[in-house]
Amino acid sequence: MTSRLLPIWRLATAALALALAACSSAQPNQVGAQVSIHDPVMAKEDGRYYLFSTGPGITIYNSDDMIHWRPQGRAFAGQPSWAKEVAPGFDGHLWAPDIVEKDGKYYLYYSVSAFGKNTSAIGLTITDTLDPASPEYGWKDQGIVIESVPNRDNWNAIDPAVIADEEGNGWMAFGSFWSGHKLFKLNDDWSAPAEPEQWYGIAAGTRPAGVPAHEAGPAELEAPFIFKHGNYYYQFISLGKCCRGADSTYHIAVGRSEAVTGPYLDKDGRDLAQGGATVILKGNKKWPGLGHNSAYSFDGKDYLVFHAYEAADNGLQKLKILPIGWNDGWPEVDPAGLDNYISEIVAPQ
Check pLDDT > 70 for residue 327: yes
Express each pLDDT in 89-138 by its tens digit. 888 899 999 999 999 999 999 999 887 788 899 999 999 999 999 999 99
Q: Report, in angstroms and rounded to the nearest whole number, the Rg of the chain calculated over CA atoms.
A: 19
222 among known catalytic residues? yes
Average of pLDDT values for 23-48? 84
Q: Of the listed 39, 159, 266, 334, which one is catalytic? A: 39
Check pLDDT > 80 for residue 22: no
What CA–CA distances, in Å, run from 280 to 62, 169, 290?
A: 28, 29, 11
167 among known catalytic residues? no
Q: 228: exposed, middle or buried (C-beta count within 10 Å: 0-12, 13-18, 19+)?
A: middle
Check pLDDT > 60 for residue 269: yes
Pairing mode, strands 289-298 and 278-281: unpaired
pTM score of the predicted model: 0.90
Cβ proximity of 263 and 331 under 8 Å:
no
Please name the fold of domain 5-14+32-345.
Tachylectin-2; Chain A (2.115.10)
Q: Which of 206, 283, 221, 219 is nearest to 254 (CA)?
A: 221
Residue 46 and residue 333: Cα distance in Å, rounded?
A: 27
Cβ proximity of 304 and 293 under 8 Å:
yes
Express each pLDDT in 64-103 by its tens digit. 999 999 999 999 999 999 999 988 888 889 999 999 999 9
Q: Of the listed 147, 222, 310, 344, which one is catalytic? A: 222
pLDDT at site 38: 95
Q: Where are the domains of the chain?
A: 5-14+32-345
pLDDT at site 57: 95
Q: What percent of the chain has pLDDT over 70?
A: 91
Check pLDDT > 70 for residue 18: no
Express each pLDDT in 282-320 by its tens digit. 999 999 999 999 999 999 999 999 999 999 999 999 999
Q: DSSP string spanning 247-276? A: G---EEEEEEESSTT---B-TTS-BGGGT-
Residue 45 and residue 129: Cα distance in Å, rounded?
A: 8
Express each pLDDT in 161-217 by its tens digit. 999 999 999 999 999 988 899 999 999 999 999 999 999 999 998 777 777 766 766
Residue 283 and residue 255: Cα distance in Å, rounded?
A: 19
Express each pLDDT in 289-299 by its tens digit. 999 999 999 99
Check pLDDT > 60 for residue 10: no
